[in-house]
Structure 1
Amino acid sequence: MTISLRGRLPLVAIASALVLASPLAAPVVAQTAPKAQAQVDPEMRLRRIEAELRAVQRKVFPDGVGKTFVPEITAGQTAPTLTGTPAAPAVSDLLARMDAVEGQLTRLTAQVEEGQNRAAKMEERLARLELAAAPPPVESEMQAAAAAPVASLTPAPKPAATAPAPKPAATTPATAKPATPSATRVAAVQAIEKPATADAGSDEYMYGFRLWEAKFYPEAQQQLQIFVDRYPKHNLTSHGRNLLGRAWLDDGKPGTAAQFFLQNYLADKKGARAPDSLLYLGVAMVRLKDTEKACGAFAELAATYPEEIAGRIKTQYDNARASVKCK
């Protein structure tokens, strides 16, 4: 029995569409179907589709050979299965990386600008401190100190034995003849024992310290100046310069004291008493009623030696800082 194809063209078109669409539909179904369906064996699904296609071919082409379509997917060939999440486009990934690099560059630029700003402020504070090295009242104070009574610094076994006191290197020549110290003061100074150890530099410093501790400030100034001049590289030199400033400050000469404090800080910023000199430089400026320089000294101290003001000299710093109103 022969069946004409003239009246079956619509069926041929439908069958052709099924043949062409079936192998392409498999990946889509595999991609959108639920998780359980996506796990079905692709080989089994392909065989089922081919069986259904042969059934359709038998209906559409009952004459057999020559009227069928060969499937594009053959036995043994599996349909691709789409898994995972599609990767981001290359352009999107590149844009994200560029945004990250720009963010890092912005942060780095901000850090550099902050560092430059801090450096500028440090230089400004240092310049203000250097201006404090020559305050107006210094010269008159040094001249007055040179004319003040000074007892003998050389201890002698007999009270009557005195030696001429050496002139301090930091003072100007006296314009008037200094008054002779009283016998009582000479005796009191000579009663202070000068150490005699294997370290001559330490002996000179300790003698000056004992004079300062006994409140013989002019004598302490001269003795400490001797130590600083003779032993500029001694491990107690930072102590000596700082104590020399203290002797002038306690003697009521804040202008002269400020010179020695600033000199000690600038000469050796890592010295043992460099923080103390900055502290007392601020105190001297407060006594001179120079608020700007006092605040500059305290700010430099806080920026350079934060550990010191939080520990060893915290009480002195807090008291000195509270004595002046800084902006």
Structure 2
Amino acid sequence: MTITLQTLVQRTAGALLVGAVLAAAPLPVAAQDSADETRIRKLEAEVRALQRKVFPGGDARFFEPQIQPGSQTAPTMPATTAPTASALTDVLARLDALELQMQRLTARSEEQANTLSEMERRLAALEAGGPSNPAGMPGVTPTAGAPAAALPAAPNATAGNLAAMSGTAPATRPATSAAAPAPNAARLAAVQAIAKPQTEDPGDDEYSYGFRLWNAGFYPEARQQLTLFVEQYPRHRRISFGRNLLGRAYLDDGMAEEAARWFLRNYQADKNGDRAADSLLYLGVSMIAMKDTKRACIALAEFGETYPAVATGRLAGEYQANRAKVKCS
């Protein structure tokens, strides 16, 4: 039978109250004391027995736990398992390796971009400078250009005067031309030794191959290749380069009249083209080769007026050298 603490307290209080009432009763003093002592001792014994019944091991040192072994307890939240030190170390090592690979790829990409930019710069300088390469290209001695000094006064020239040159030289003037060399095994082998680029831009590959042929001195083969490029890729970003170089392939092979036609065509097609200024200058050079001083002076004068920055910069040496070849009024 389970007795609560409240019930026990009530019973104890009742017993004490009864004892107090009895003690207050008018009994003889000796008998009253003896009876009270007996009852008190009895009550104390009952209380101790009751305590042992209700609170086994009632000492504070021996209170029984509220939850005994084997009893059901409230579920607890599972603890989050922290990553082990070895797993974290492995992840950090992999991240470091990825960062190192990214750094290497970035460095290699920048190196390739710089190399490509340098190749394009040298290619443009080589084309502008003729068969002789600019300084820095292997196996070729650069040509020294005249300093960009003050240019002599040029005669007045207008676009209309230059447009009149569309007919180039007079019909009575024979065109100077050089006979194409007869093909032989050695020449064929030399031409075949020049590799054709294979990139993602087929138009640029055709032009670059023509440039390599021209630079190697195979002018007929270069003309054939550059003509193919100009016809198949009329809107390519290097079309101005192609038409100008085609004119150079004729001019360097002694065919000044055909060269003049291509130079004039390239200049009139796009005066802001990458090689429009070069074509206008070499148009004057072609006229000098044809002994046509008047048209040569017109072309050189318009070159100096239309492209003053180029005339005093990149092509200053060639411009002054050709101005010195003719006497313009």
TM-score (norm. length: structure 1): 0.50
2:312 is aligned with 1:310: yes
Q: Distance in 1 between matches of 2:244 and 2:157?
A: 26
Residue identity in the other structure for 2:165: L
**Which of 179, 183, 186 is residue 184 of structure 1 equivalent to?**
186
Q: Which amino acid aligns with 2:285?
A: V
Query: Aligned ranges for residues 114-263 of structure 1 at < 5 Å?
Result: 122-132=158-168, 135-136=170-171, 148-149=180-181, 179=182, 181-263=183-265
Residue 289 of structure 2: aligned partner: 287
Q: CA deviation at 1:316?
A: 1.1
Alignment partner, residue 119 of structure 2 = none
Say if 1:236 and 1:125 are closer, same or farther in 2 by CA, change over 3 A. Answer: same
Q: 1: distance between equivalents of 2:174 and 2:233? A: 26
- Report Cα offsets for 1:208-241 as digits up to 9, x if no partner: 0000000000000100000000100011000000
Instruction: List runs of 5+ in structure 1 lacking aligned partners.
Output: 1-119, 150-178
Go from structure 1 to structure 2 and tell me whether the alpha carbon gap of 1:271 and 1:296 turns closer, same or farther (over 3 Å shift): same
Shift of the alpha carbon at 1:125?
2.3
**How many residues matched?**
174
**Greater RCO (CA < 8 Å, at least 6 residues apart):** 2
Whether the 8 Å contact between 1:128 and 1:293 is mirrored in structure 2 is no
Taking the aligned partners of 2:157 and 2:319, their CA distance within structure 1 comes to: 21
Q: Secondary structure of 2:313's match?
A: coil
Distance 2:247 2:173 in 1: 13
Tell me what 2:276 maps to. Answer: 274
Q: Which residue of 2 aligns with 1:97?
A: none
**What SS is found at the alignment partner of 1:324?**
coil
Bigger shift: residues 303-312 or 260-269: 303-312
Distance 1:283 1:137 in 2: 20
Aligned residue identity for 1:325: K
Unaligned segments of structure 2, at least 5 residues: 1-155
| CA apart distance, 1:321 | 1.0
Distance 2:200 2:170 in 1: 40
CA shift at 1:138, angstroms?
Answer: 8.4
Cα distance in structure 1, aligned partners of 2:272 and 2:228: 23
How many Å apart are 1:320 and its aligned residue?
1.1
Look up the SS of the partner of 2:272 in the other structure: coil
**Offset of residue 139 of structure 1:** 7.8
Measured in 2, the distance between the counterparts of 1:261 and 1:300 equals: 14
Aligned pair in 2 of structure 1 residues 135, 236: CA closer, same or farther (>3 Å)?
farther
Residue matched to 1:171: none
Q: How is 1:39-50 mapped onto 2 (pairs within 5 angstroms)?
A: none
Structure 1 position 325, deviation (Å): 0.9
- Contact persistence 1:137–1:255 (CA under 8 A): no
Matches within 5 A, 1:65-76: none
For residue 158 of structure 2, what is the amino acid of its counterpart? M
Amino acid paired to 1:129? M
Alpha-carbon distance between aligned partners in 2 of 1:188 and 1:208, rounded to the nearest angstrom: 14
C-alpha spacing 1:223/1:137, structure 2 compared with 1 (3 Å): farther
* Contact 2:244–2:278 (CA under 8 A) maintained in structure 1: yes
What percent of counterpart residues are identical? 57
Q: Deviations over 1:127-151 (max 9, x none)?
A: 333342x553788557x76xx34xx
- Going from structure 1 to structure 2, the CA distance change for 1:123 and 1:275 (only over 3 Å counts) comes to closer
> 1:76-95 alignment to 2 at 5 Å?
none
Letter of the 1:225 partner, please give it: T
Judge conservation of contact 1:125–1:300 (CA < 8 Å) in 2: no
* In structure 2, C-alpha distance between the alignment counterparts of 1:136 and 1:211, rounded to whole Å: 31
How far apart in 2 are the matches of 1:286 and 1:307? 23
- The answer to whether the Cα contact below 8 Å between 2:175 and 2:257 also exists between their aligned partners in 1 is no
